Amino acid sequence: MSDNNNKITKVSIVCSKGSLEGIYPALIMANGARMEGIEASIFFTFFGLYAVLKNFNTKIKIATVGNPAMRVPDAKGMVLPTFLGALPGMSAFATHMMNKEMEQLDIPPIPEFIEMIHDAGGQMFACKATVDMFHLTTDDFCDEVEKVLTVGEFYELSAGAQIIFT
């Protein structure tokens, strides 16, 4: 981008999936934005909200059932048939393997990543409709969640931002 007028200055990321492969893209995008000096906020909705629930964000797993893109990292792209995802223990095994790979790349666990983004100036919000639907209170969230917002408030906050849905 040679024209500075086209430079992205603000992103609002929607995190709606509660699996490891659903949450990490939002965290990586927000962290990358902050590292580039881009204003970043994450709006956690539906099962993505588990990323900021202090009693759950250390227990996030890989979704193995119905994931046609599931690969074995060390097998150079060997595809796992989707029916294998339903086997008992497969999600725990896949989660363990993925966490091991991310640890080798120095990618932090979810609670640490959330703290890093917050400390870098990123903002995090919970979706009011989901909070109400799941019967949650602000005490359920990690300290980095700034506020519970309606969708309308999220759009207002996101004025001028690129909205990214992960």
- Give domain limits for the chain: 11-165
Number of neighbouring beta carbons within 10 Å of residue 37: 9
In this prediction, residue 100 has a pLDDT band, given cuts at 50, 70 and 90, of confident
- Between 91 and 149, the more confident residue is 149
The CATH number of the structural domain formed by 11-165 is 3.40.1260.10
Q: List the single range of 93-102, 129-138, 152-161 with lowest mean pLDDT.
A: 93-102
Quote the CA–CA distance of 133 and 136 in Å, as a whole number. Answer: 8
Residue 125 has pLDDT above 60, yes or no: yes
